[in-house]
Chains A and B, each alone.
Chain A
């Protein structure tokens, strides 16, 4: 299913008061941050989106897809389900190689593809996953021995290429040891809509909009300024540098160079 637009209507906060905005539109390829203290309603918002709520949840929030009320089938039929989820707690549990795992998943999706197409897709997924993590993933590696960062990177690349969910919900994955900005770029490139619960400034300031949550409702929709995006880029550069040095240390190298200069707008 092609999703061009999601519309979220305000809903009510914990005291039953109406939130102070009417509705917000989100377009394909946009990143939306969800910020706010514990208990402010971030998870409930993700839940409402995941459910494609239409007034039946406790916030009475309503969500439209392409200006229409989503069909019930979209919520229940696994093949049509349009929401992908990625959280910090997720692990792989299948005892098989990365290659076999991806192959099974591609076949599960039921697309008729030649052996060669499948092999090429697997190569591409691993290649892109390796731009997200510092430690290289190999085809033959067993899924269960992947590190936290490698697992997360593979999950992101898999979400981008195989799980065709056009909407992706990401719940606090900032500390997972991955180049998170590359990860998001990979998903956005695929025209996905991303909702991202985060307190990490690199992520929150690199979105198109962010929802500031309070007392169960969306209190404000903040449009990310150019300046904020610049700050996000700069912080991201520092983060990537940190990961690079970490890799050098991991590989038993002497760290030779201190990088001081960077372009604030990044590459």
Chain B
């Protein structure tokens, strides 16, 4: 099974591009899942057009990336018979990226929506960047934009895509067909903000047990540091420090206020 993740800011043309791409993937069993923050009827529109199984997941109060990471294993479990699962996610704050290693990560990037260096891991970690709305600006600016995208992510393939005409859909479908199958353990390419749950202590493994384990480790450590966010350890916030300790990047002694285990 292949997992294909389309990430991009609202209005970048993800859904329109996906429609053309699904049209190029005839003969394959596809499930389409759309993650949105507020509401969406894209699932109905895609079902109507291609008669494939679709669903919408609304994250509501939750961070949409946290929510997606929690839901994706369930989606895969339910759709084991499919060849391809297409996941479309919007409402990203640009702090994170929704991409999983071994998936095909596609960033749909609206050329009119500002400079590429303004995008974080959403662009930086993408395997493929589909640049949309390029038909509205000059060749010169498209070339400058491409150069800027490659400065942010030099390993990506760049495809000029158009949600109105379907330009680029053949190339994206090609890349999907050639993309790897997912492995047992799915791992995010970029950690989520560190805050309250296992993921929030920097867990990247999509697995509820791992998340819980990480949460307990984080909580234990959190109890022993003063949560002053003083910055003396070199990290902006205590939670970020905890993440770094748990990832083995730094020794816990770096915190000048650390209490020994058992110390009150």
Chain A residues with CB under 8 Å of chain B are 43, 47, 50-51, 56-57, 75-76, 78, 84-87, 89-94, 101, 104-105, 108-109, 151, 155, 158-159, 162-163, 165
Task: Give B159-212 interface residues, CB cut-off 8 Å to A.
Answer: 159, 165, 167, 170-171
Contact B143 A109 (CB under 8 A): yes
**Contact: B143 with A57, CB < 8 Å?**
no
Distance, CA A221 to CA B158, complexed state (A): 35
- Contact size class for B? 20 to 34
* Contact A87/B135 with A105-B140, A108-B144, A108-B147 known, Cβ cut-off 8 Å: yes
**Shortest beta-carbon distance, B147 to chain A, in Å?**
4
Contact B159 A76 (CB under 8 A): yes
Tell me if B144 and A105 are in contact (CB < 8 A): yes
Tell yes or no: B229 within 8 A of A by CB: no
- A92 contacts B171, C-beta separation under 8 Å: no
On whether the beta carbons of B158 and A92 are closer than 8 Å, the reply is no
Using known A-B contacts A56-B170, A76-B159, determine if residue A159 contacts B139 with beta carbons closer than 8 Å: yes
Does B247 interact with chain A (Cβ within 8 Å)?
A: no
Q: Given A43-B165, A76-B157, A76-B158 in contact, is the A51-B170 Cβ separation under 8 Å?
A: yes
B171 touches A162 (CB 8 A): no
Q: Tell me, in angstroms, the Cα distance from A101 to B137 when the chains sit together.
A: 14
Contact A163 B136 (CB under 8 A): no
B residues adjacent to A (C-beta < 8 A): 112, 135-141, 143-144, 146-147, 150, 157-159, 165, 167, 170-171
Nearest B residue to A86, CB-CB: B139
Selected from B141, B157, B167, the residue in CB contact (under 8 A) with A94 is B141
Q: How far is the CA of A213 from the CA of B7 in the complex (A)?
A: 39
Q: Give the residue name and chain of the B residue nearest to A163 (CB).
A: B139
Bound Cα distance A75, B136 (Å): 20
A158 touches B170 (CB 8 A): no
Q: Would you list 7 pairs from A and B whose C-beta atoms are within 8 A, ordered by A residue? A: A50-B167, A75-B171, A85-B135, A92-B141, A93-B112, A93-B137, A105-B143
In the complex, the answer to whether A90 meets B135 with C-beta atoms within 8 Å is yes
Q: Which residues of A contact B147 (CB under 8 A)?
A: 78, 108
Pick the residue among A50, A84, A93 that contacts B141 (CB under 8 A).
A93
Q: Contacts A47-B165, A109-B143; is A155 near B138 (CB within 8 Å)?
A: yes
Q: Which 8 A-B pairs have the closest CB atoms?
A: A78-B146, A108-B147, A158-B140, A155-B138, A105-B140, A84-B139, A108-B144, A163-B139
